[in-house]
Amino acid sequence: MKRPILAVTLGFILGIIWGLYFNIVLFLFIGFGIYILKIILHNKNINVIRIINVFITKIIIALFFVSFLIGITYIKYLEKNYEHIYNSLYTVKCVGTIISEKNEKEYNYTYKIKVKQINGKNIGNKTFFLSLKKQKNQTFIKYGDKVYFEGEYIKPEKQKNYKGFNYCQYLKTLNIYGTINVNNIKVIDENNLNVILLISNKLRTQIINNINKIIPEQYKGIFLGLLLGYTNYIEDNVKENFSISSLSHLLAVSGTHIAYIILSFSLFLKILKVPKKINKFLLCIILIFYLFIIGFPASATRAVIMAIISSMQFILYRKQDIATTISFSALLILLFNPYKILDIGFLLSFFGTIGIIIFVNKIIKENETKHNRIINNFKSIFIVTISAQIMLFPILLYYFNTISFTFILSNLMVGLIIGPIIMIGLIIILISIINVSFTTIFVQMENYLLFILLKITEIISKIPLSRIYFITPKIPIIILYYIVIFSIFIIYSIRNSNRIFLKYKIEIITKKLINNIINNKFNIFIIFLIIILISNVFSRNFKYLKIYFIDVGQGDSCLIVTPNNKKILIDGGGSENYDIGKNTLFPYLLDRGIMKLDYILISHFDTDHSLGCAQIIENINVSGIILSEQYEKNDNYKRIVYLAKKKNIKLIYVKAGNVLNIDDVKLAILHPQKELMIDNPINNNSIVCKMEYNSFSILFTGDIEKEAEELILNKNINLKADILKVAHHRFKDLYYYKFFKRGISKNSINRSRKK
Q: Mind spelling out the 3-state secondary structure of 598-642?
A: EEEECCCCCHHHHHHHHHHHHHCEEEEEEECCCCCCCHHHHHHHH
Please tell me the distance from the alpha carbon of residue 323 to that of residue 303, in angstroms, as a whole number. Answer: 14
Indicate the pLDDT class of residue 55, thresholds 50, 70 and 90: very low
pLDDT of residue 115: 94
581 φ, ψ to 5°?
Answer: -60, -45
Q: State the DSSP code for 467.
A: -
Please tell me the distance from the alpha carbon of residue 660 to that of residue 653, in angstroms, as a whole number. Answer: 11
Q: Name the most confidently modeled range: 17-31, 248-262, 355-369, 516-530.
A: 248-262
Q: What is the arithmetic mean of pLDDT over 641-653?
A: 94
Q: What is the arithmetic mean of pLDDT over 459-479?
A: 88
Of 639, 640, 608, 609, the residue nearest 624 (C-alpha): 640
Indicate the pLDDT class of residue 104, thresholds 50, 70 and 90: confident
Indicate the pLDDT class of residue 577, thresholds 50, 70 and 90: confident
Of 662, 655, 575, 669, the residue nearest 615 (C-alpha): 575
Please tell me the distance from the alpha carbon of residue 139 to that of residue 109, in angstroms, as a whole number. Answer: 12
More confident residue, 57 or 600: 600
Q: What is the arithmetic mean of pLDDT over 567-576?
A: 92
Share of the chain above pLDDT 70, in %: 82
Please tell me the distance from the alpha carbon of residue 398 to that of residue 348, in angstroms, as a whole number. Answer: 12
Mark 663-698 as b/e (b = at least 16 C-beta within 10 Å).
eebebbbbbbbeeebeebebbbbbbbbbbbbeeebb
Indicate the pLDDT class of residue 384, thresholds 50, 70 and 90: confident
Share of the chain above pLDDT 90, in %: 46
Sign of CA dihedral 534, 539, 541, 546: positive
Look at residue 205 and tell me whether its pLDDT is greater than 80.
yes
Q: At what angle do helices 255-271 and 276-294 cross, to 10 degrees?
A: 140
pLDDT of residue 506: 57
Indicate the pLDDT class of residue 753, thresholds 50, 70 and 90: very low
> Which residues are CB-contacts of 30 (< 8 A; sequence separation ≥ 6)?
69
What count of other Cβ atoms lies within 10 Å of the Cβ of residue 551? 14
Please tell me the distance from the alpha carbon of residue 614 to that of residue 696, in angstroms, as a whole number. Answer: 30
Host H or E run for residue 402: strand 402-403
More confident residue, 298 or 319: 298
89-193 CATH, one of 3.90.1150.10, 2.60.40.10, 2.40.50.140, 1.10.357.10 = 2.40.50.140
Q: What is the pLDDT of residues 229-239, one digit of tens each?
A: 888 888 888 98
Tell me the whole-structure pTM to 2 decimals.
0.84
Please tell me the distance from the alpha carbon of residue 397 to that of residue 472, in angstroms, as a whole number. Answer: 6
Where are the domains positioned within the chain? 4-84, 89-193, 204-353+398-469, 475-529, 546-754
Mean pLDDT, the chain, as a whole number?
84
Q: Which CATH superfamily includes the segment(s) 546-754? A: Ribonuclease Z/Hydroxyacylglutathione hydrolase-like (3.60.15.10)
551 φ, ψ to 5°?
Answer: -80, 110
HSE-CB for 656 with a 13 A CA cutoff = 18
Indicate the pLDDT class of residue 743, thresholds 50, 70 and 90: low
Of 568, 596, 672, 570, the residue nearest 629 (C-alpha): 672
- Where residue 433 falls (left for φ over 0; alpha for ψ -120 to 50; beta otherwise) is alpha
Please tell me the distance from the alpha carbon of residue 190 to that of residue 201, in angstroms, as a whole number. Answer: 14
Of 662, 720, 715, 711, the residue nearest 690 (C-alpha): 720
Q: What is the pLDDT of residues 556-568, one digit of tens each?
A: 899 999 998 999 9
Host H or E run for residue 560: strand 557-561
What distances in angstroms separate CA 657 from CA 104, 275, 279, 660, one per listed residue?
54, 89, 83, 10
What count of other Cβ atoms lies within 10 Å of the Cβ of residue 261? 24
What distances in angstroms separate CA 582 from CA 255, 363, 616, 688, one per listed residue?
30, 39, 8, 26
Please tell me the distance from the alpha carbon of residue 566 to that of residue 560, in angstroms, as a whole number. Answer: 8
Same fold, 89-193 and 546-754: no
Of 372, 384, 375, the residue nearest 408 (C-alpha): 384
Look at residue 112 and tell me whether its pLDDT is greater than 80.
yes
pLDDT of residue 421: 94
Please tell me the distance from the alpha carbon of residue 721 to that of residue 701, in angstroms, as a whole number. Answer: 12
Q: What is the pLDDT of residues 399-452, one digit of tens each?
A: 988 888 888 888 888 888 999 999 999 999 999 998 888 899 999 999 999 999
